[in-house]
Amino acid sequence: MHFPTEIVVTVIFILLANIFPYQPGQTFVVSNLKVLQKQYAKWEFFAVIPFFILMASMVYGFGNLFFWMNSTPEKSKALHFLITPNLYMWFAPATCLAFAIIAFPMSFIFRLLLRERYDEYLHYTNLKHGFDGVKIYRPIALMFGLFAIVSIFLMSDYTVEISKKQIILNDFLTTGEKEYDFKGIKSIFFVENTISKDQKAISPYPHYYVKFIDGNYWNTLSGLNTEFQQDEIMKYLSEKSNLKIDTVSYLID
């Protein structure tokens, strides 16, 4: 399996070198790759350590920050339940945002360590790979940053609100709401397992599935933070809609 992977990586590096060829913007005292390698190869290897530490720290920090900011709104007195995205969902935009800005703390650390030799270190890494890393990183970072911003915007509005009179769904990919009174609920299922798309594999994954008369549904596998309230929420919906919660092994919708 390693051989095809090495071929793919090599081809990608060749393409990048042709699309984003490295052209030094200044004259360095040393431009011999072997000489530079003796000085900076250890620093390039060392860069992996702070990269993964910073990425993990930022993903964890951003994810928890977004979760906290989104899960502590002022709850309306009219609402019995306000359900927002769970922590694991917030790790997705957190990862994208972390990747988009990782270059800044990495650059700061290596500038502190290498000082006036930092530019030569960048020259070595670009010379070694044959392409300009900064030119490649900028558009990719911008794309990840935009994805993070859009995801954060959509997720901050991704909620289920349950009051005495109705249930309001605000889906992830929309900014509008769908309101249903409790008579609009068609069925409520407790599903013990999930089934694969090809309907050949079944995995234990207990969850609830609420279907509405217009064909829309709310599935507690959708990433909303209901882990500690699922039973309570479904019992409330069952009472309000006068529907029994049916238990099924799996559900094909």
Domain extent listing, the chain:
2-156, 169-248
Main-chain phi, psi angles of 178, to 5 degrees: -120, 120
| Residue ranges in 20-132 assigned as alpha helix (H) | 33-46, 48-71, 87-101, 103-114, 118-129
d(CA 236, CA 81): 10
- Among residues 108, 128, 112, 110, the alpha carbon closest in space to that of 41 is found at 128
d(CA 222, CA 243): 22
Contact (Cβ atoms closer than 8 angstroms) between residue 100 and residue 144: yes
The predicted pLDDT at position 2 comes to 46
SS3 71: helix
Least confident window among 1-5, 93-97, 126-130, 248-252 = 1-5
Beta bridge partners of residue 159, listed in sequence order: 170
The predicted pLDDT at position 7 comes to 57
How many beta carbons lie within 10 A of that of residue 49, not counting itself? 9
The predicted pLDDT at position 1 comes to 47
Model confidence pLDDT, tens digit, residues 149-179: 999 999 988 888 999 889 999 888 777 889 9
Q: What is the mean pLDDT of residues 88-111?
A: 93
* Residue 6 pLDDT level (bands cut at 50, 70, 90): low
Per the prediction, the chain carries an average pLDDT of: 83
